[in-house]
Amino acid sequence: MIALALTTLRHRKAGFAGAFVALLCAAALVTACGMLLETGLRGTLAPERYAGAPVIVAGDQFERRAETDDDGESKVKAKALAELRWIPEKLAGALAAQPGVEKVVTEVTFPVGDALGHGWESAALTPFTLKSGRAPQKAGEVVVDARFSGGTLTAGGRTYRVVGVTEQALPSQNTVFFSTAEARRLAGRPGQVSAIGVFPQVPVKAEGAVVYTGAERGPVEFRDGDNARIRLTSIGGAMGGTSLLVAILVVVGTFALSVQQRQRELALLRAIAATPRQLRRMIGGEALVVSAIAGTLGAAAGMLLGGWLIGRFVALGAVPGNLQLVLSPFPPAAGLLATLLAAWAAARVSARRTSRIRPVEALGEAAAEKAGLPVVRLVAGFAALAGSVVLTVLLSTLTSESASSPVTMLTALAWSVAVALLAPLIVRAVVALPVRLPGTAGFLASRNVRAGTKRMASLVAPLSLMIAMTCTILFVQTTLGAAAQEQVGDGVRADFLLSPGASAEAVRQVPGVRAATEVLRTSIRIDLDRVGAQAVSAEGLERTLDLGVVAGSMAGFGATSVAVSTKAAEWYGVGVGDRLALSLGDGTPAELTVAAVYTRGMGFSELTLPYALVSKHVDDPRAGLLVAGGSRAALEKAAPGIAVLDQAQAAESGQVNAAVNYVAMGLIIGFCAIAVVNTLAMATSARTRELALLRLVGTTRRQVLGMLRQETALAVALAAVLGTFGAAVTLMAFSLGMTGSVLPSVPPLSYAGVIAAVALLALAATVIPARMALREAPAEAIGGRE
C-alpha cells in the first residue's frame, strides 16, 4: 500500500498540493510558537551594566509565599516584583570584610530623562572608562556616555555641566554619572543602594540580600526580563494551542475535500477487491509522505518565523533586546510531529466512510451525492455546538483579561468547529430556499450548489473560520480600548495632563491653577496576583479626577487608604472599611483601609493608592499631573520641556496598546487566509472536467466564470453570516464579562473591510484557477490530461 501511495502521489501532484501547503503552514506556526514558548522558559538575559562585576549582591527580586497543597506538602511560590527591591548600604562593609574579597562597589540607579543615572564610583561594574574629560567632583557636574552630545544636561529642574565622556555606551540604555553625593540625593533612598558589586568572584554571604553570578546578573539589571519571559511563555502557549487547533481544523477540511474529489478512484479500488484496511493504509501512507515533506520544510520556515516574531516583540518594547533566543531541536520536532499526527488522523477520518461501504455502494455514492450526514459527524457537530454554548456562558462570567483571553479564542474556534461539522446541513437548508439567481450563470450556479452541497460546505467552513477568527482578534482589542477610553474621557475632570517630570509644587503656583493631582502607574501584588494600580495625591483630587465612586468617598483618602474597583472588590471580597493586605511594587508589605469602591477600573487601574506611599517604592517616582485651571502657555513656562495635553488628548492616552496581540494573533489570521485560498483553489481545479463539459454543450466562457463568481459570492455570504454570528456571540460574552455591557465595540468600516477582504480573497482564489482551466481545450480537459 505504501508503494501504491507513492504512485498516487506522483500522478496526483495537483490534488495533494493543497494539503501540502496547509501542512507546511501548520508546521511553521507550531514551530514558531514553540520557539516563543521555549525562549520564555529557558531564555537568558545577558548583563550589560553589570558585565564587569563577577558577583552582584542585590535584593530578592521575587515575592515569595509558602503554601500547603491538598496533600499537606509545603512549597514556596515566587512571582517577580514590578519594581527594584533596594538593600542597606551598610551591607557593603560586611561583604568587604569577608575572605577573598578585594573590592566592593556600591551603586544607586535612578531615572534621568531617557537615561539611567548612577554615582561615578559604580563605573567599575561595567566597566566604564573615560574617553575625555574627568570624573564628576561637584554636585553640578556629570559624565555622560559616548552617545550623548551637548555640553549641559537638565535633570530634576537643575542644569548640570558635562565634564567627561566615557569610551563606552551600553546597547540597551543611556547612562549618566553624577558625583557620589549628588547621586545619593537624586536617588532619594538614604542609607540604601540598588546593588553591590564584589571583586573577584568568591563565595560570599549577604544577609537580607541575594548573591547573583553568571547569567543570573542579567535579570537583576533588566528587571522586566522575567515579566517579558512570562509574556513570551503566555503568548507562545496560547498562540501555539490556538494555532494547533486551527491547523487541525484546516487540515481535516483539506483532506476531506481531497478524499471527496477522489471518490470515484477509491470506489474503483473497492470494486477491484481492495479491502477497507488497504484503502485506509494507502490514504494514511499518502498523508504521512506529504506531511513528512511539508512538516520538514515547515519546521525550517518556522525557525525563521520564530526569530522574526522575537524581533518584532523587541521592536515593540515587549521584550528586552538582550533576551537570548533559544534554539533547540524541540520546537521543530514538535512542529513535525504535530503535522504528521494531524495529517494521518485527518486522512484516516476523511476516508473512513468510503472505505467501509460495499464496492457497489461506493461506486453509486461516487456518482451521486448522498443526503444526510454520518451519525458520528452529526453527533460531533451537536457536541461542538453544545460546547460552544458552554464556553460562551463561561466567558461571560470572566472579568479579568488574563482569564478571558484564552477562553475567548477557544470559544470562537469552538463555534467555527461546530459550523464546519454541520455545514452540509446548513448549506442544504439555505439552498432549499426559493431564491433564484439572475441570468444563465445564476441558473447554473443554483443548480450546481443544490447538487453539490458537500462541496459548498467545504468552501463555507474555512471562509467562516477566517471571518470569525479575524473579527474576534480585531474587535476584542477595540472593545477593551473603547471601554477604557470612554472611562478615561468621563473620569478626567482636569483641563490639562502634564507628562511625568514636572514639579507639582511649581505647577500649583501657576496663576489660575485650581488643583494639580500627581498620578503614577505601578502594579502591586495581592496573594501573589499582579494587579494594576495608580497612585494619586489627595490634594484637589475631586477637581481633577472622577473615578465613579459607588461606595464610600474619596474625600477622606489619606496615607493609609486604598480605593478599589468594583471588580477588585469582588475578586478579593472587600468593601468600604475593610483592611486590604498587599505588597507594593518593590515587595514592601502594606495593609490599607478601603476608603471607596469605584466603577472606572478599566480606565484608571483596579486599585488607587496614595502617591506619598507608592513613590518611595518605585524605580521612577516621576508622576504625571492632572491640572485643573490655568493656561497652556503658563503651564509650558512653569514646566519647560514637559508635554502639556488637553482633556481630549488625555482621554486618548488611556487607550490600550494591543500591538503585541495583533502581531501574535495576526499569524493565525494569515494561516486562515492561506487555508481559504488553498481550499477554493483545490475545489476549482478539481472541476476542470465539469467546466469543460459546460463549454462543450454551448456555455460561454463568460457564463462559466459568472457561474463560479455567483457560487463563490453565495459561499462568502453564507460564511459571513455564520462567521459573524460566531464572532458576535463570542464578543458579546467577552464584553459582558470585561466591561459589563453586552455590546462590543465593532467599528463598521473595520468589519466591512474584513468581509470585503475575505470576498476578494475568495473570488481571486476561484477565478484565477478557473481561467487557467478554461485555457485548455474542452475535449482535452475531459480526456483527463493533467
CA distances from 76 to 66, 70, 365, 528, 782 (A): 4, 14, 63, 11, 72
- What is the 8-class DSSP label of residue 49? T
What's CA 762's distance to the chain center, in Å?
27
Ranked by mean pLDDT, the top range of 156-160, 171-175, 281-285, 588-592 is 588-592
User: What is the mean predicted confidence (pLDDT) over 308-312?
Assistant: 85
The yes-or-no verdict on residue 651 having pLDDT over 60 is no
d(CA 137, CA 518): 34
Distance in Å from the first CA to the final CA of the chain: 24
pLDDT, residue 238, reads 76
d(CA 638, CA 509): 9
pLDDT range class, residue 46, cuts 50, 70, 90 = confident
Cell of 66: 509558602
Buried/exposed code over 659-688 (b: 16+ C-beta within 10 A; e: otherwise): ebbebbbebbbebbbbbbbbbbbbbbbbbb
d(CA 61, CA 53): 19
pLDDT, residue 261, reads 63
d(CA 604, CA 620): 19
Closest CA to 609 of 624, 591, 627: 591
Question: Residue 107 phi/psi, 5° resolution?
Answer: -145, 145
- What is the 8-class DSSP label of residue 45? B
pLDDT range class, residue 452, cuts 50, 70, 90 = confident
Amino acid identity at 287: A
pLDDT, residue 428, reads 85
pLDDT, residue 578, reads 94
546 vs 667, higher pLDDT? 546
Listed by start position, the domains of the chain span 1-45+222-368, 55-218, 378-483+656-786, 500-642
β-partners of residue 58 are: 210
pLDDT, residue 300, reads 93
Strand ranges, E, within 634-738: 644-646
pLDDT range class, residue 118, cuts 50, 70, 90 = very high
d(CA 378, CA 512): 72
The yes-or-no verdict on residue 438 having pLDDT over 80 is no
d(CA 340, CA 605): 46
d(CA 23, CA 17): 10
User: What is the mean predicted confidence (pLDDT) over 735-757?
Assistant: 93
β-partners of residue 525 are: 530, 583
d(CA 50, CA 223): 13
The yes-or-no verdict on residue 446 having pLDDT over 70 is yes
Window from 92-106, 451-465, 574-588 with minimum mean pLDDT: 451-465
Window from 117-121, 221-225, 645-649 with minimum mean pLDDT: 645-649
Q: How many CB atoms lie within 10 A of CB 454?
A: 16
> What single string gives the DSSP state of each residue in 586-602?
TS-EEEEEEEEEES-HH
d(CA 700, CA 774): 10
pLDDT, residue 611, reads 94
pLDDT tens digits, one per residue of 247-282: 777 777 777 766 666 666 667 776 776 777 777 777
d(CA 463, CA 762): 8
Q: How many CB atoms lie within 10 A of CB 367?
A: 10
pLDDT tens digits, one per residue of 611-625: 999 998 998 888 999
3-state secondary structure of 199: strand
User: What is the mean predicted confidence (pLDDT) over 762-775?
Assistant: 81
Burial of residue 504, with CB atoms counted within 10 A of its CB: 0-12 exposed, 13-18 middle, 19 or more buried: middle
Question: Residue 127 phi/psi, 5° resolution?
Answer: -90, 150
Ranked by mean pLDDT, the top range of 315-324, 554-563, 701-710 is 554-563
Cis peptide before 127 (omega within 30 of 0): yes
d(CA 322, CA 762): 42
pLDDT, residue 15, reads 57
β-partners of residue 596 are: 552, 563
Torsion-angle region of residue 714: left (phi > 0), alpha (psi -120 to 50) or beta? alpha
The yes-or-no verdict on residue 781 having pLDDT over 60 is no
666 vs 543, higher pLDDT? 543
Helix residue spans in 536-645 (DSSP H): 541-544, 566-572, 601-604, 611-614, 632-638
197, 125 Cβ separation under 8 angstroms: yes
Residue the block writes with cell 459527524: 377
Percentage of the residues of the chain whose pLDDT score is greater than 90 = 37
Arithmetic mean of pLDDT over the chain: 84
pLDDT, residue 7, reads 57
What's CA 721's distance to the chain center, in Å?
27
Q: Nearest 5 degrees, angle CA 783-CA 784-CA 786?
A: 135
The yes-or-no verdict on residue 296 having pLDDT over 70 is yes
The yes-or-no verdict on residue 650 having pLDDT over 50 is yes
User: What is the mean predicted confidence (pLDDT) over 288-313?
Assistant: 88
β-partners of residue 552 are: 596
Burial of residue 211, with CB atoms counted within 10 A of its CB: 0-12 exposed, 13-18 middle, 19 or more buried: middle
Strand 561-565 to 589-598 pairing: parallel
What's CA 156's distance to the chain center, in Å?
37
The yes-or-no verdict on residue 683 having pLDDT over 70 is yes
CA distances from 259 to 254, 283, 675 (A): 9, 9, 17
Closest CA to 647 of 456, 489, 483: 489
Question: Residue 444 phi/psi, 5° resolution?
Answer: -65, -40
pLDDT range class, residue 347, cuts 50, 70, 90 = confident
pLDDT range class, residue 242, cuts 50, 70, 90 = confident
CA distances from 225 to 81, 228, 386, 745 (A): 11, 5, 41, 33
3-state secondary structure of 396: coil
β-partners of residue 593 are: 561, 579
22, 251 Cβ separation under 8 angstroms: yes
The yes-or-no verdict on residue 8 having pLDDT over 70 is no
Closest CA to 253 of 783, 765, 672: 672
The yes-or-no verdict on residue 786 having pLDDT over 50 is no
Window from 406-420, 639-653, 701-715, 719-733 with minimum mean pLDDT: 639-653
d(CA 389, CA 88): 56
pLDDT range class, residue 370, cuts 50, 70, 90 = low
Percentage of the residues of the chain whose pLDDT score is greater than 70 = 88
The yes-or-no verdict on residue 712 having pLDDT over 70 is yes
pLDDT, residue 360, reads 58
The yes-or-no verdict on residue 429 having pLDDT over 70 is yes
pLDDT range class, residue 574, cuts 50, 70, 90 = very high
d(CA 541, CA 584): 22
Amino acid identity at 268: L
Q: Is the dihedral of CA 145, 148, 153, 156 positive or negative?
A: negative
Residue the block writes with cell 509565599: 65
Q: Nearest 5 degrees, angle CA 286-CA 24-CA 246?
A: 100
d(CA 5, CA 289): 8
d(CA 654, CA 471): 23
Closest CA to 375 of 347, 346, 348, 353: 353
